[in-house]
Homo-oligomer: A and B are copies of this chain.
Amino acid sequence: MHTALCDTLGIEHPIIGFTPSEHVAAAISKAGGLGVLGCVRFNDADELDRVLDWMDEHTGGRPYGVDVVMPAKVPTEGTQVDLDKLIPEEHKAFVERTLKDLGVPELPEDAEQRAGVLGWLHSVARSHVEVALRHPIKLIANALGSPPVDVIEQAHAHGVPVAALAGKAEHARRHVRNGVDFVVAQGYEAGGHTGEIGSMVLLPEIVDAVDAPVLAAGGIGSGRQVAAALALGAAGVWTGSLWLATEEYLQTMPASAAMQTALVRATSSDTVRTRIYTGKPARLLKTRWTQAWAAPDAPEPLPMPLQNLLVSPAHNRLHETNDPELVSMPAGQIIGRIDRVRPVAEIIEDLLSGYEEALARLEKTR
């Protein structure tokens, strides 16, 4: 499984793996893919800096990248205290009532700020980019379309290519006009922010729309799916949900056993596309929390980043329950095929052998 992308990025297999865990990212890179570390969990750029130091030590010189969340238009900005004032009381009351109904206890005062609420702010995402460019990263991906043009220029000045997500061909064209180097075609099946066009349709549409390598995202969890993506014209694949149920994920986030149990239990019907996580449509694991927001009495989600600020403390409380039915986690439809927690290297091996089997099957049709 070798494409031009492998040469461009200096990797062995055209498999990009997005993950919030440095242990997972390093393992993907060491197995010949490109591990891409999600930065949104870092409130503080110094913390990211330390984790990237760890990456530099633990990837054995293999390439890796980072992923930031940066809307092209700067949204509401400010400190968390300022922004809290913009959240309607109705929404705060709904969250409190729902957590109470679900039997979710409060946390000690000092635990409330654990998760990366501020990583969703534009200014914080910029500080992530600045810190990351001090490390030997091989890719900056933006989980929300084109980053601002000056950020792209800043990355290029360091010789680092930029990838951006697109859910429509017109978005992909705009990204490339802005200077983006790789387009991640994010199909409807994908976890996290995603549009309404299925990968089977979206991917060739974007491949034909832009003169840039396209990575297939959404629905990629097996070698057969990698083969399908390359048949559709992708230069490589962008994977995410696949890496949540790994042994390495637990090394970074030891309290994730409930999330992993939920993924192993879930079928491909157990996700939902909703604005409740960030304010923009994103696919999440379906749980009692997402169901509460789908009820007729639930308020409309707020715009980004206010919805993040509203729900992040709730996510922390849900997380602490260790209850698989109360997990709040972006996840794609491929979670239906996750049946156990595995080491990263084993998953990469399966992708490679499944790819070869799919090619052999196709060759027999000649």
Contact = CB atoms under 8 A, between A and B. Distances in A.
Contact of A268 (B197, B229, B333, B366): B197
Q: Which range holds the interface residue count of chain A?
A: 35 or more
Interface stretch (A64-72, A81-89, A218-226, A318-326): A218-226
B232 A197 contact: no
Contact of A202 (B268, B332, B366): B268
Identical copies of this chain, number: 2
Nearest to A167: B269
A198 B187 contact: yes
A344 to B, nearest CB: 21
A222 B200 CA distance: 10
Interface stretch (A15-23, A132-140, A247-255, A355-363): A355-363
Interface string A4-28: 0000000000000000000000000
A198 B225 contact: no
B199 A230 contact: no
Contacts of A189: 188, 197-198, 200-201
Interface in A313-338: 332-334, 336-337
A333 B269 contact: no
Contacts of A205: 268, 336-337
A269 B197 contact: yes
A231 B362 contact: yes
A3 interface: yes
Given A188-B188, A196-B269, A361 B231 contact: yes
A180 interface: no
A228 interface: yes
B188 A204 contact: no
A359 B202 CA distance: 20
A291 B11 CA distance: 47
A33 to B, nearest CB: 15
A219 to B, nearest CB: 3
A282 to B, nearest CB: 15
Given A188-B188, A231-B227, A232-B228, A219 B200 contact: yes
A199 B197 contact: no
A168 interface: yes
A363 to B, nearest CB: 7
A233 interface: yes
Contacts of A151: none
B168 A269 contact: yes
Contact of A201 (B3, B230, B334, B358): B334
A239 to B, nearest CB: 12
A1 interface: yes
A200 B200 contact: yes
A226 to B, nearest CB: 9
A200 B199 contact: yes
B200 A361 contact: no
Nearest to A168: B269
Interface in A167-212: 168-169, 187-189, 196-202, 204-205
5 contacts: A198-B199, A201-B334, A224-B232, A228-B228, A359-B363
Interface of A: 1-3, 168-169, 187-189, 196-202, 204-205, 218-222, 224-225, 227-233, 267-269, 332-334, 336-337, 358-359, 361-363, 365-366
